[in-house]
C-alpha cells in the first residue's frame, strides 16, 4: 500500500499560518491606505483666467468647489458647447477605493449650478478625463492604469453619456494621457511606468496623422523629460493669445502632486523636443495646501485642483 506523502506543515507566526498572516497584513495595509486617503482631500478651484499665463496665477482668487467629506474631486477639465459650461473630473469616494468620472454644470464665472452627475464608471479606477474633439465629435480618454489600457469614449449625449469606441493601448502602464493637434500632426503626451522609469518623473510622447486610427508612433527621444520636478503631465496642452504652446506639469519631487509648473514648448517634431519652464507653484505657496497638480484653460475660465489636509479623517 502506497501512502501519499503529507504536505509540509505551513509555518505559523503569532498563531497564524502564512496564508492567514499574509491576508491579515494585506487587509491592514489596505485599511491604512484608506485612512490616509481620507485624511486628505482634493478639491476644485475655478474662475476667470488671468490675462498673462506666463506668470504664476493666484489660486486663492478662484472659487473653491469643495466635495462632500467622504470623497475627493480632482483632475478637472473644462468644456463648453452651445453656451453651456461644464466641469468633468475624477470623483473618488473613499469607501469605494476607486475613481469614476463625473460632470458638473457651472456658470460663466465658474460657480457650480448643481450637484455632479456620474458620466462614466468601470470596475476599475478612472481619473484624468481628458476631452478633445476630432471630425466634429467629442471624445474622452480617461486614465485607466489599473486596467493597463487606454480606451477612447465618444460622447453620445452631452454631457452625460459616453460609449467606448476604441482601444489605443493594451498591457501598458500609462497615465495622464493628453491629446492635441500641433502643426498638422496629432500628439499624445503621457507618463509611463516601465523598467527603471516611474510615472512621477516621466513625459513620453507619441504621434499620429489621425488620433482615431490608433497607430501611435513613439517618439525616439522618449522620455522627453525625466524629472520628478516637471515630467508628469498636469493638464491640457494649450496655446495662449501669443500662439505659445504651453504645457502644465506636476512637481512630484517632495511627494505626488505637490506642485504645478507651466512650460513653453519651444520645439516639437518627430525628431526633437525642447521646452522652457515659465513658472512653478507649490500647494503650500498657493494657499497653505498639501498639493496643487492640475490646470486647465478654456475660453475665459481656468480650473485647478488642490489638496488640503483634514483635521479629522472622513470615512463613510
3-state secondary structure the chain: CCCCCCCCCCCEECCEEHHHHHHHHHHHHHHHHHHHHHCEEEEEEEEECCCCCCCCCCHHHCEEECCCCCEEEEEEEEEEECCEEEEEEEEEECCCCCCEEEEEEECCCCCECCCCEEEECCCCCCEEEEEEEECCEEEEEEECHHHCEEEEEEEEECCCEEEEEEEEEECCCEEEEEEEEECCEEEEEEEECECCECHHHEEEEEEECCHHHCCCEECCCCCCEECCCCCCECECCEECCCCCEEEEEEECCCCCCCEEEEEEEEEECCCCEEEEEEEEEEHHHHHCCCEEEEEEEECCEEEEEEEEECCCCCCC
Q: Label residue 82 by pLDDT band (50, 70, 90).
A: confident
Q: Which residue has the cell 494649450?
A: 238
User: Burial of 30 by CB count in 10 Å (0-12 exposed, 13-18 middle, 19+ buried)?
Assistant: exposed
Quote the pLDDT of residue 136: 96
- The answer to the question of residue 23 being in a domain is no
Q: What is the dihedral of CA 26, 28, 29, 34, to 10 degrees?
A: 130
**Nine-digit cell string for 24:** 491579515
**Nine-digit cell string for 147:** 486596467
Q: Which residue has the cell 497638480?
A: 293
Sign of the CA dihedral with 217 first, then 121, 62, and 314 last: negative
Judge whether residue 236 has pLDDT over 50. yes
Quote the pLDDT of residue 316: 42
Residue pLDDT, tens place only, 137-189: 999 999 999 999 999 999 999 999 999 999 999 999 999 999 999 999 999 99
Quote the pLDDT of residue 18: 62
Residue pLDDT, tens place only, 107-126: 999 999 999 999 999 999 99
Report how far residue 274's alpha carbon sits from residue 261's, in angstroms, rounded to the nearest whole number.
15
Domain tally for the chain?
A: 1
Sequence-ordered list of residues with C-beta below 8 angstroms from that of 314, at least 6 positions apart, any chain: 38, 41, 69, 70, 94
Residue pLDDT, tens place only, 23-60: 555 455 555 555 566 799 999 999 999 999 999 999 99
Residues in the chain: 316
- The answer to the question of residue 8 being in a domain is no
Q: Label residue 1 by pLDDT band (50, 70, 90).
A: very low
Q: Identify the CATH number of the domain in which residue 168 sits.
A: 2.115.10.20
- The answer to the question of residue 28 being in a domain is no
**Mean pLDDT rounded to a whole number for the chain:** 92
- The answer to the question of residue 249 being in a domain is yes
- The answer to the question of residue 31 being in a domain is no
Report how far residue 131's alpha carbon sits from residue 78's, in angstroms, rounded to the nearest whole number.
9
Dihedral pair phi/psi, residue 22, rounded to 5°: -60, -45
* Least confident segment among 10-19, 141-150, 284-293: 10-19
Percent of the chain with pLDDT over 90: 85
Q: Which of 214, 160, 169 lies closest to 192 in space, CA to CA? A: 169
Residues of the domain holding 68:
38-309
- The answer to the question of residue 17 being in a domain is no
- The answer to the question of residue 253 being in a domain is yes
- The answer to the question of residue 240 being in a domain is yes
Determine the average pLDDT of the residues in 200-208: 99
Question: How many Å separate Cα 55 from the centre of its chain?
Answer: 23
Amino acid at each position: 500500500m502506497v501512502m501519499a506523502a503529507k504536505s509540509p506543515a505551513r509555518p505559523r507566526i503569532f498563531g497564524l499560518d502564512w496564508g492567514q498572516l499574509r491576508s491579515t497584513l494585506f487587509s491592514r495595509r489596505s485599511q491604512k491606505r484608506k485612512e490616509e486617503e481620507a485624511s486628505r482631500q482634493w478639491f476644485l478651484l475655478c474662475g476667470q483666467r488671468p490675462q498673462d499665463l506666463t506668470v504664476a496665477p493666484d489660486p486663492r482668487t478662484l472659487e473653491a468647489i469643495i466635495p462632500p467629506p467622504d470623497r475627493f474631486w480632482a483632475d478637472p477639465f473644462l468644456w463648453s458647447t452651445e453656451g453651456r459650461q461644464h466641469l468633468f473630473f475624477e470623483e473618488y469616494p473613499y469607501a469605494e477605493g476607486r475613481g469614476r468620472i463625473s460632470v458638473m454644470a457651472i456658470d460663466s464665472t465658474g460657480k457650480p449650478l448643481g450637484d455632479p452627475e456620474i458620466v462614466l464608471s468601470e470596475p476599475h479606477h478612472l481619473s484624468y478625463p481628458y476631452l478633445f474633439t476630432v471630425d466634429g465629435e467629442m471624445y474622452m480618454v480617461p486614465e485607466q492604469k489599473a486596467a493597463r489600457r487606454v480606451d477612447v469614449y465618444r460622447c453620445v449625449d452631452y454631457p452625460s453619456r459616453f460609449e467606448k469606441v476604441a482601444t489605443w493601448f493594451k498591457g501598458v502602464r500609462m497615465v495622464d494621457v493628453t491629446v492635441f493637434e500641433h502643426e498638422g500632426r496629432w500628439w499624445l503626451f503621457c507618463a509611463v511606468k516601465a523598467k527603471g522609469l516611474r510615472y512621477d518623473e516621466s513625459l513620453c510622447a507619441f504621434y499620429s496623422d489621425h488620433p482615431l486610427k490608433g497607430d501611435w508612433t513613439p517618439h525616439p527621444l522618449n522620455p522627453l523629460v525625466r524629472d520628478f520636478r516637471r515630467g508628469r503631465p498636469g493638464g491640457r496642452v494649450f496655446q495662449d493669445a501669443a500662439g505659445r504652446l504651453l504645457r502644465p506639469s506636476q512637481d512630484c519631487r517632495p511627494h505626488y502632486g505637490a506642485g504645478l509648473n507651466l512650460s513653453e514648448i519651444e520645439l516639437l517634431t518627430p525628431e526633437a523636443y525642447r521646452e522652457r519652464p515659465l513658472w512653478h507653484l507649490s500647494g503650500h505657496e498657493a494657499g497653505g495646501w498639501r498639493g496643487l497638480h492640475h490646470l486647465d484653460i478654456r475660453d475665459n475660465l481656468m480650473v485647478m485642483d488642490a489638496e488640503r489636509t483634514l483635521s479629522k479623517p472622513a470615512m463613510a
